[in-house]
C-alpha cells in the first residue's frame, strides 16, 4: 500500500479505503502448510550429525556431553518469510494464501550450525554441563564405538 500511495501521490489511508471498501479486498497472511522433507533436506539431516561426529573425534568424546538435545521438529532448514512479507490483498471471502516452496528463504548451509556450536562451546561451564547431562541422549557412546569400528 505504501508503494501505491507514493506512486499515486495520496495517503495510505486513501489507498486502503479504495482497496477495502471499493474493491472489496482485505489483507490476508499466508497459512503454513505441513512440510515434507525433500531429498536435499534428508541429506542435510545426515550430513549434520556426521559433521558433529567428526568434530567429536577431533575434540574428544566429552564434546557430545555438552550438547543439549531437543525435539527435532523444532529444527528447520528454512527461515520462513515474515508475516508482513506473506500478506496479500485478496477478496474478503477468499482463503488465506498458502506458503509456497519458492516463497521460503533457505538457510545457507549446515556448516553455519557447526560454527555457532564451536563459538558457544567454551561458554559452557562444568556446572552447566552437569545440569544438562541428564537431557543428553544416552546412546551416543555406543554409536561412537560402532562408528569407530567401521572407520578402522
pLDDT tens figures, 108-147: 444 555 555 555 554 444 444 444 444 334 444 444 455 5
- Compute and round to an integer the Cα radius of gyration of the chain: 24
pLDDT at position 90 is: 74
d(CA 41, CA 104): 14
Report the predicted TM-score, pTM, of the whole model to 2 decimal places: 0.31
pLDDT at position 81 is: 58
- The residue extents of the domains of the chain are 2-151
Spell out, as residue ranges, where the chain has pLDDT lower than 50.
Answer: 74, 77, 100-110, 122-144, 151-152
* DSSP 8-state secondary structure symbol assigned to residue 13: H
Amino acid at each position: 500500500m505504501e508503494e501505491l500511495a507514493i506512486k499515486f501521490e495520496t495517503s495510505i489511508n486513501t489507498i486502503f479505503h479504495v482497496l477495502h471498501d471499493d474493491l472489496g479486498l482485505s489483507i490476508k497472511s499466508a497459512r503454513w502448510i505441513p512440510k515434507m522433507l525433500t531429498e536435499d533436506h534428508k541429506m542435510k539431516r545426515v550430513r549434520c550429525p556426521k559433521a558433529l561426529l567428526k568434530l567429536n573425534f577431533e575434540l574428544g568424546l566429552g564434546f557430545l556431553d555438552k550438547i543439549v538435545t531437543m525435539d527435532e521438529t523444532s529444527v528447520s532448514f528454512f527461515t520462513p518469510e515474515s508475516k508482513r512479507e506473506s500478506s496479500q490483498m485478496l477478496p474478503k471471502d477468499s482463503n488465506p494464501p498458502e506458503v509456497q516452496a519458492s516463497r521460503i528463504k533457505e538457510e545457507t548451509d549446515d556448516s553455519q550450525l557447526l560454527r555457532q556450536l564451536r563459538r558457544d562451546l567454551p561458554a559452557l561451564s562444568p556446572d552447566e554441563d552437569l545440569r544438562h547431562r541428564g537431557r543428553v541422549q544416552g546412546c551416543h557412546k555406543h554409536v561412537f564405538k560402532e562408528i569407530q569400528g567401521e572407520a578402522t
